[in-house]
Amino acid sequence: MDADASMPEAEGPWRNVPRPTTEELLTPSTQVVDPPSIPRGVKIVGLLIVLVLLLLSVWLGLSLGGSGSGVPAPTPSVDETLWDLEPPTTVGDFVKGDVTDTPGAADGERDIVRANYTDGTDKLILLLSRPEDDLSIYLKDAGVPDAEPMEGSDGIRCGISRDNAVPVCARIVDNTAIAVAGLSDQDFSDLTSLVDSFYEELQ
């Protein structure tokens, strides 16, 4: 039987389509395919987004880093400018003697400093305590519960200590109690002046 006669003849539109040769199959195509074009509207939106992000980054940089306009720094609070609890060497004719320091701020309690003073004849004790914010409570805790305000003074109160019957005058300034106890029969007027004198030297 003839081999050509055993193959049915192709019907339809595919019968005249030539098969690619081996060379055509092995040769890479050189046809360049153009990428799809980006619509103009999308380009404009993209540029606007980039511009907004750039402006936002500049604004954040100025806000967080400062614009360099020379704006003064905030004034320190009272707590940041407190003077040291260091008794002065002399106040008037009185000269400092022994000093006892009892730090307690690390434990959340008071810092207390006690210093003895004498002018060669009279003696007194300076007591500093921080932090304090209520003079009446401070004097009550110190054993002077009946202290009275001194007329014409800047918040000074005076009274007699129940523990040793000596006169004591005190005031609170900058969260610090300044108390002076007289050991030589000083009167309240003398101690009131000494409280103010000590404060002037302590600042």
82 part of a folded domain: no
60 part of a folded domain: no
Range of the domain at 126: 98-113+122-202
What tens digit of pLDDT does each residue of 23-51 get?
554 555 555 555 667 777 777 877 778 77
Over the chain, what is the mean pLDDT?
78
54 part of a folded domain: no
Q: For the chain, how many structural domains are there in total?
A: 1
185 part of a folded domain: yes
160 part of a folded domain: yes
Average pLDDT over residues 158-172: 95
Supply the pTM of this predicted model.
0.60
Angstrom distances, CA of residue 128 to CA of 99, 108, 177, 190: 11, 17, 6, 18
Question: For residue 152, is pLDDT > 70?
Answer: yes
* Predicted local confidence at residue 59, as pLDDT: 52
* Predicted local confidence at residue 66, as pLDDT: 44
193 part of a folded domain: yes
The CA R_g of the chain, rounded to the nearest whole Å, is 47
* Predicted local confidence at residue 109, as pLDDT: 82
Average pLDDT over residues 144-155: 93
143 part of a folded domain: yes
197 part of a folded domain: yes
In contact, 97 and 88? CB cutoff 8 Å: no
Cis amide bond preceding 167, omega within 30: no
φ and ψ of 7, to 5 deg: -100, 120
